[in-house]
Structure 1
Amino acid sequence: LRDKAPAIRREAATSLGKLQYAAASAPILQSLRSPTDRTEEHALIFALIEINEPTQLFDALQSPTAAVQRGALWALDQMEKKTLTVNQVAPLLASESPQVREAAMRVFLRHTEWTGNVGQLLEQWLQGESPGDADNNLIAGFVTAFAGTDSVARVVGQHLTMDSPQTAVRLLESLGNADRIPLHESWSEPLNAWLHSDDTQVLATTLRAVASIQTDHFDKLLVGLVANATKSAAIRLAAVEAIMRHSPRPNAITFEFLIRLLAEDASPQERTTSARILSNASLTSEQLRKLTDNLPFAGPLELQLLIQPYRRDVDKATSVAFLDALVDARSFSALAESDVSDVIKRYSQELLPRGNQLLEKLRQLNEEKRAQLDDLIPAIRSGVPARGKAVFFAEKNKCSTCHRVGDQGGQIGPDLTAIGRIRNERDLLESIVFPSASLAREFEPYTVLFNDGRLMSGIVVHETDDVLHIQQAEGKPQVIARADIESVVPTTISIMPQGLDKPISKQDLADLVAYLRSLNQ
């Protein structure tokens, strides 16, 4: 199962399944952390089904790795021993992973004995005395999946009142994980009350719930929160997101607030979140010109996001302001060539020479970087994995924000738990310096063109007949209605921006690569 050749690993999994070797369940589950393709994943899951031993798979449903959770769930549902219960599946309906949520929903809907009366089932769980963490997860998963149905929505409305705050907050958290649900008539009054809460945590939870609901009913209240300087930046950003889920053009108050957060004195997280929101916004020409004032000072991740609104047709004055800003941008070298060419290819013949000069400058910078790769290889081999682990998990370097190792880190990018098994030093170094040079399977980026001319780039992490879930470099996946989309096309630009290696010293870079190379379990 740990052989370097995918074909041998697949055959090993197949053989262990045919042997029904129960002790193989643990290493098979471990291999599910990082299968190289769907064929290998299928072989591993089918082996678990044939082994037909559910005990270890129940524990795997709690795994921090989405691929392990999903594989265990499919195997438990398909194996001969039918031991899977509604209480085990329902919590997975609220998983952070869209793939796990989809698998849980498919399993749930296969069991007609579970779906008979979902509202009555939720009421029964809510009436339980002193529910523990397991029960809370079960309720959260159920509400997340079925909040759009009338029977569940009515039960939610009955329990959203301030008379039972603990239950109400649990339900608000669940609504915040739902996707584009309609506003039920019984929710308006209690949500309005919770939006006036003085408790920052409760207010943040309520804002996430409102952002998941398709309505402009609360916009006046939300704009008031954005304008309220006594509220934290996090609360005001959450209010902005709730508004712009259904209204992508920011008003003057919202735009000025987002621009202020791009300043140096804002926290890195605030700057990045503001940049992401602006990247998805439908900005006026005046707003675009004002935004160019901030491009010279943006970091690598923010700059990649902030140039996105300029990829649509803009007037000459805005185009000139954009070119002037990029000339002085401190993170200019972090941009991919196609990032810039996607903007300037829309320019008039008069401005194309200036745009092409910028592109040529970027090509030269990238060639210099590529030449430096060979010089860095000897230094990389002197790296110390233990120090590299500290570099990986350091907040300032952003590695663990998107990538997971074992049970630590984010899940935006590929799981790196066994990356050393399939990548050598040069591959790893190149993927850090030039992240678009090689894109991991199932993490290929796409560009979405909206009917109103906006563009959004990211990974399609989940899709249904009605919506796409697009994961950008920061934040939760954006849920987009297919009715709002003109086209979806593949792109070659990774959502991981170039330039994240710039603040890292050569020694830290060597240690980081050494750490990644050591991950071969």
Structure 2
Amino acid sequence: MSSAGQKPEFKEHLLNSIAFLDDLPETLEACVILGLKENAPELRSASLKLAARFEMPSNVLKFIAQLEAQEGVSKKDKVDALKVLVKHQDRLADGSIAFLTRLITDENTSVILSQHAAQVMGALRWHLLDESERDAYLKTIARARSFCLPALMYPFEHQAGINGEGEHGLNEDAWDVLGVQLAAQLERNPAVGSLPSGTVNLLRRMFSEKVSRAYAAMSEVLGDGLYTEQKQEMKLRSILQELGEGNASRGRVLFYKERLACASCHRIDSRGGQLGPDLSRIGRIREPRDLVEAVLYPSATVVNGYENYAFELSGGETLDGMIHRETREAVYLINGAMSEMRIDRKQIEHVHNSTVSLMPSGFEQILSRRELLDLIAYLQTCR
């Protein structure tokens, strides 16, 4: 890593190779700092992914905190740095929540970066936040883009798991109050109707009849599940009637735009990512209705081989993603941020198939009617 004659491509390959280790030897910890000091964005990104994968000593975390605070650091690197810090420290410095909130609520931020920011913010622990941070968090929920909302529910899910246990748990009255506050912020968000069914069911489980005021407030906001399905069906039918008005050329441009980031996960012919299904022949194998449903309600049907799994760990944490690879000692997940997460098999208490797709929901809030029709028209030409 330190050799001046080594090309950036070699260094990046070395860093990516280290990620396949189950544990990071102390002798290789220096590689992380050396990579962070490089000016090449791909090396810095690879080093931050390593820091998120492994346990890091305090000197590395201190360096990452300094990097995150520097002027001129890209938003992506800043979010990646915050991901490392929140994993190791469960807290963020003053101003970090405000920065993440801007990414989560800004319509001009790419879908991938917004979602990544929401995942970082969702890794915070509710019981460790002070009053002002909790207030800021709740207000973020009211303004969050639709596809960010599921990740923002994680702190409440974690809190529900520790309620009644030790000093950090909330009693029923406090949990009831928090549920009412959360419901109020969700109600202010126009995208609440786009919540995936898995997130809706989670909220209903967390705030059941035991906490009567929160239960009533959540029921008012979330509505009846059957009614939601009927609304979605009506939406699909109305769009199908207008499919002939879409422009495939405009749809192709839209597919590759950073704002939607479709190509970050999906490949068409030789261009695009590989986290999601290959769409090169999607227009041949899927009916128009399937295409519209997949864009608007991705959790309705998940393609075999791309299932999202939720791992409940012994410490109360829940991690979800696609299973990327496995060893005798660990399971490795990959999520929408394309970062690999290692889970020690000894920590796994329960695994279940998540009902929430890795593909972000809420595109009906992002796309205009014309843009949606154009995108579907383009996908229909992929044969």
Distance 1:290 1:230 in 2: 25
Change (3 A) 1:474 1:207: closer
Q: Which of 465, 469, 472 matches 2:328?
A: 465
TM-score if structure 1 supplies the norm length? 0.61
CA contact (8 A) 1:289 1:322 kept: no
Residue 510 of structure 1, CA deviation: 2.3
Distance 1:188 1:463 in 2: 23
Distance 2:292 2:34 in 1: 52
Match of 2:153 in 1: 307
1:340 aligns with 2:200: yes
Match of 2:289 in 1: 426
Distance 1:191 1:404 in 2: 31
Find the residue that maps to 1:284 and give its secondary structure. helix
Residue 397 of structure 1, CA deviation: 2.5
Match of 1:477 in 2: 340
Distance 2:262 2:12 in 1: 31
CA contact (8 A) 1:404 1:415 kept: yes
Match of 1:233 in 2: 75
Distance 2:285 2:36 in 1: 49
Distance 1:229 1:250 in 2: 24
Find the residue that maps to 2:253 and give its secondary structure. helix
Change (3 A) 1:507 1:230: closer
Match of 1:380 in 2: 243
Q: Which of 99, 115, 118 matches 1:275?
A: 118
Change (3 A) 1:271 1:377: closer
Which amino acid in structure 2 is aligned with residue 448 of structure 1? F
Residue 424 of structure 1, CA deviation: 0.9
Change (3 A) 1:500 1:190: closer
Residue 380 of structure 1, CA deviation: 0.7
Find the residue that maps to 1:261 and give its secondary structure. helix
Pairwise mapping of residues 132-281 of structure 1 onto structure 2 (< 5 A)? 160-161=1-2, 163-164=3-4, 166=6, 170-177=10-17, 178-189=19-30, 191-192=32-33, 195-196=36-37, 202-217=43-58, 218-229=60-71, 231-244=73-86, 247=88, 249-253=89-93, 256-263=95-102, 264=105, 267-268=109-110, 270-281=113-124
CA contact (8 A) 2:236 2:292 kept: yes
Which amino acid in structure 1 is aligned with residue 248 of structure 2? P
TM-score if structure 2 supplies the norm length? 0.81
Match of 2:349 in 1: 486
Residue 309 of structure 1, CA deviation: 2.5
CA contact (8 A) 1:384 1:515 kept: yes
Q: Which of 285, 294, 308 matches 1:445?
A: 308
Change (3 A) 1:175 1:513: same
Find the residue that maps to 1:394 and give its secondary structure. coil
CA contact (8 A) 1:380 1:510 kept: yes
Find the residue that maps to 1:438 and give its secondary structure. coil
1:318 aligns with 2:178: yes
CA contact (8 A) 2:86 2:123 kept: no
CA contact (8 A) 1:173 1:206 kept: no
1:349 aligns with 2:191: no
CA deviation profile, 1:238-260 (whole Å, cap 9, x unmatched): 33333455x2x52241x741442
CA contact (8 A) 1:304 1:497 kept: no
Superposition RMSD in Å: 2.9
Match of 1:400 in 2: 263
Structure number with higher relative contact order (C-alpha < 8 Å, ≥ 6 residues apart): 2
How many correspondences in the alignment?
357
CA contact (8 A) 1:289 1:318 kept: no
CA deviation profile, 1:228-283 (whole Å, cap 9, x unmatched): 456443333333333455x2x52241x74144222156843543322122234444
1:498 aligns with 2:361: yes
CA deviation profile, 1:197-243 (whole Å, cap 9, x unmatched): 56666544443444444432522222333344564433333333334
Which amino acid in structure 1 is aligned with residue 79 of structure 2? L
Which sits farther off after the overlay, 214-223 or 411-420?
Answer: 214-223
Distance 1:191 1:472 in 2: 22
Change (3 A) 1:439 1:179: same
1:509 aligns with 2:372: yes
Find the residue that maps to 2:309 and give its secondary structure. strand
Which amino acid in structure 1 is aligned with residue 148 of structure 2? E
Distance 2:47 2:298 in 1: 37
CA deviation profile, 1:290-342 (whole Å, cap 9, x unmatched): 42120111112212221232223064243232112111113212202331221
Match of 2:234 in 1: 371
Which stretches in structure 2 are left out of the alignment for 5+ residues? 164-169
Distance 1:486 1:427 in 2: 35
Match of 2:143 in 1: 297
Find the residue that maps to 1:381 and give its secondary structure. helix
CA contact (8 A) 2:296 2:361 kept: yes
Distance 2:190 2:219 in 1: 19
Which amino acid in structure 2 is aligned with residue 250 of structure 1? D
Distance 2:281 2:328 in 1: 34
Change (3 A) 1:283 1:407: farther
Change (3 A) 1:492 1:183: closer
